[in-house]
Each structure stands twice: as structure tokens, then as C-alpha cells.
Amino acid sequence: MAEPTIPRDSLILVTAANGLIASHIADQFLAAGYRVRGQVRNVQKCAWMTSLFDRVYGPDRFELVRVSTPAEMTDPAVWDEVMRGVAGVAHVLGAVDLSVKDVNAAFAEEWPMHAAVLDAAKRASASSDSRMRGFIFTSSAWAAYTPDASLRQTLTAKSWNETALDLSRPSNGIVTFDPAHADPKYMLAPFMAIKTRLEQAFWAWVEREQPAFTCNTVLLDCVMGRCLDPAGPQGVPSTAGMVRWVWDGTYRQVLDAMQPQWHVDTGDAGRLYVAALQGKDVDRERIYGFGERFSWFQVRRLMMERGKGDIVPVVDLGTDQTVVPNERGAELLRRLGRPGWTGLEESVRANMESIFEAEKAAKGASG
């Protein structure tokens, strides 16, 4: 963009920077000419990020800062220091426990952490030398809907996962997934409910506090593609690691139960944050990070077509029929010179290359 809202060389805060999504967000901001401060829980374990980014982008473009304990996560003074000099925030930090049992308790534990970061951003924006221009809250596709290939659903900017919220109410009796009594497609209903309530709480905060900076959410569906350090400490994590399950023939019960939905490439995920924070016209929006429909059955087929050889079969559950408002995301990607969304085949190929690098490194380490 010729005249971005946040000038290049400004400092961007990326929380939980060592994760699959956040590491690509940091990478894309650095590639776009920004400096990045990455919040992590353990600076020593994440030193690979500094080494990698220093090598690619030069020194003094990336720094790590530790915020680790629950007490620190909700301490205003800690986040005020982290926020010093920051012009934009890509907030990715969050719980990753898919087996949450008590939705109310989990929400009560997690939301204060997000509120602390938001409040710190607002305080920073009120200072006389403030550079704060934008905040992006990372949500999930699952905050909008429960994937179900048997249904034709249409999502909008106002769609919420009411199915997950209903299933996760204690009165319903399905606070956590019980394989003996629940449809497999609802096995993650409590986790989906948490994601829904957290994004709703974010928008309630925006409505109440009316911050001067732009506020947006990015709803990402299954993220796969290239990993930044597959042969090193990062490996092939998160949902990119699920692609490895297909590769290795493991965790078949989980893959066979997961409904077809949408994928988004790791690079596209990072670019959405850059374009959203740069755009003067991008404010108070829910941006759908949905690139192309996919199923694990498709992923297996693409792997075999690319020469992986025989792989343990995955159940064919059909194709997601959901109509999604993902054109805004494609438009934002085009602003950065991209053709739009990266296709599933390209993402699977890149993910396979990362898995191959990781396996090669593991074999070398074992002699």
C-alpha cells in the first residue's frame, strides 16, 4: 500500500509469537518493512525466531519479550511496558486446550488476559506520544459456525456459533464431548463455544470503550502450509501438524470425525493481519480467513498424487457446503500484490515440504 495507516518501520506487537499463525504474522510484517516485538512465554526456547529473522531481515528488526505467568498475563503494568512504542497489535495469544470441560470457568479464566492487553492498548493510545493505530483480535472460524457437510449454511458478518453455545450449556448435558452420547461432529463444541464467547466479549469491549484505533477480528479456519522452522525447534506445529497425521497415518479417529470445512494458507493468514492494520478503511470488521474448501480425505489424495505413496485411508465425509463472505479477505490480499487466496493444493505441497525437512533433520540428528 502506498500510504498505509501505520507507517513502515513502525513497531508491531505480535502476541504468542512462536506459534504457527503468529510466527507467520511476524514474518509478514517484517517482510512488509515493519519492526516486530514478539511476546512469548519463554525467550530462551524461542531464540530460534531471533536467529531466523535476523538472518532474513537483518538485526534489530525483531525482538522477543517474555510475559509468562497467569499473574503477568493480567498485570496492567506488565502489558503497559510491552505496549511501549507499539503502533499496532496482532493479538494471537489464547488457550489451546481443545478438551475444555467447563465453558464458564474457562471463559472466566481466559478473558481477563485479553482484557488486560486491550486495556493496555487503549492506555497507550491516550498518551501524548502515542503511535497506536490498530488492534486485531484473533478469532476462529468456529466462532461463526460448526462445520457440517450435510448442511448448506450461509455465514455473514453477524453469524455466531449458536449450535456450540447451545450444546455447551450445562442444562443441555453436553458440557464436554462424550463419544458414547454425542455426534462426532460436535466433539469440539465446548472449545467452539469458548471461541465464540471470547470474540463476542471482544466486540462488547470495543462497543463499551470506543477506542480511537481500528479494531478488527480475523476468523481463521484450518491453517496449513509452509512452516518457518520445520527442521528446528518450531517443527511442524498446530494444524500443520495435523497434515502430518495424514502423512504418518496417525490419529485416524480424530481425522475421521472432523467435518469438511475451509483451509487458509499460513502465508495468507499472516498477510491478512498486515493488510488489515495497513488499511484506513478496515475498521470494526470480522474478516473471514477462508481460502478454499477442504477435507482430510482431499489432503490424503493430494499427498498421494504428489508421490507420498500409500497412506492409511481417511473417511470421505463429503464437501463443505457453507457459503462464506471471504471476498473481503481476498481483496485485502490483493492489496498486497497477491492474486487472492492460495489454493489447497499449493498449501498441502508446502506443508509436505516442511514435513520432509523435519523428517530429514530428525534422521540426521539420530545419525
**Backbone angles phi and psi of 220, in degrees to 5:** -95, 135
d(CA 189, CA 137): 21
Q: Domain 11-224+266-291+323-341, CATH 3.40.1190.20 — does that match?
A: no
- Res 190: pLDDT: 87
d(CA 114, CA 5): 24
- pLDDT of 99 > 80? The answer is no
Give the percent of the chain with pLDDT over 90: 83
- Res 151: pLDDT: 95
Task: Give 230's DSSP letter.
Answer: T
The burial class, CB within 10 Å (0-12 / 13-18 / 19+), for 87 is buried
Mean pLDDT of the chain: 93
Short-list 14, 24, 15, CA closest to 230: 24
Q: In which region does residue 284 sit, left (phi positive, over 0), alpha (psi from -120 to 50) or beta (all else)?
A: left
* Strand locations in the chain (E): 11-15, 35-40, 62-66, 86-91, 134-140, 214-220, 222-224, 261-265, 285-289, 292-294
- Res 38: pLDDT: 98
d(CA 128, CA 99): 44
- pLDDT of 29 > 60? The answer is yes
**Confidence class for position 168, pLDDT limits 50, 70, 90:** confident
- Res 171: pLDDT: 64
Place of cell 540426521: 364
d(CA 95, CA 100): 10
- Res 245: pLDDT: 96
The mean pLDDT value for 98-118 works out to 91
- pLDDT of 254 > 90? The answer is no
pLDDT in tens, 305-336: 988 888 999 999 999 999 999 999 999 999 99
**Backbone angles phi and psi of 35, in degrees to 5:** -95, 150
The mean pLDDT value for 345-349 works out to 98
Ranking 151-160, 172-181, 246-255, 350-359 by mean pLDDT, the lowest is: 172-181
The mean pLDDT value for 200-223 works out to 98
d(CA 5, CA 160): 30
- Res 365: pLDDT: 77
C-alpha grid cell for residue 143? Answer: 466462532
**Confidence class for position 253, pLDDT limits 50, 70, 90:** confident
- Res 205: pLDDT: 98
- pLDDT of 2 > 80? The answer is no
Give the percent of the chain with pLDDT over 70: 94
- Res 172: pLDDT: 65
- Res 174: pLDDT: 53
- pLDDT of 95 > 60? The answer is yes
d(CA 135, CA 107): 21
- Res 178: pLDDT: 52
- Res 353: pLDDT: 97
- pLDDT of 97 > 80? The answer is no
pLDDT in tens, 137-165: 999 999 999 999 999 999 999 999 999 99
Domain residues of the chain, as ranges? 11-224+266-291+323-341
